[in-house]
Homo-oligomer: A and B are copies of this chain.
Amino acid sequence: MRPYAQVLEQLRTAGLRPTRQRLALAKLLFENGPRHMTAEALHVEAQKAAIRVSLATVYNTLHQFTEAGLLREIVVDTSRSYFDTTTYEHGHFYHEGSGLLMDIEDQVQLAHMPNLPAGTKISGVDVVIRLSDA
């Protein structure tokens, strides 16, 4: 539930114009609580909401929002990209059967951080718990 003003602000900061398509997609993404969307799914949802936007623009917009810090890309499946509206670092449950991706609400932390290879620094820590039906 990110406020409209914040979206505008971040678009402006990123040098992105608040076009009809970007605002409409932002509304779908941010006015419904935390979400995990694929480009295809967002496009379908836009169509249903009678928003005229091409799939190419959905892809562009997702990447631009990610660079602007409004979204975070989550890698759980080689066959498609997921974008998460929750941008701080947190773990995920991934249900392989359904393709459903969920935030892990509890704090998941590593018991201890391993030593890094020389000359490197951490750019992110991904924790994915893969689920199947019990």
Contact = CB atoms under 8 A, between A and B. Distances in A.
Nearest to A106: B114
Q: Which of A78, A91, A93, A111 has the most CB of B within 10 A?
A: A78
Interface of A: 75-81, 91, 93, 95-96, 102, 104-112, 114-117, 119-134
Given A77-B75, A108-B110, A110-B109, A131 B127 contact: no
A59 B104 CA distance: 33
Dominant SS at the A interface? loop
A77 B79 CA distance: 10
A95 B110 contact: no
Number of this chain's copies in the complex: 2
Given A78-B78, A106-B114, A116-B129, 6 more contacts: A102-B117, A106-B115, A108-B114, A109-B111, A123-B132, A125-B128
Contacts of A77: 75, 78
Given A108-B114, A110-B110, A130 B126 contact: yes
A108 B126 CA distance: 12
Contacts of A131: 116-117, 120-123
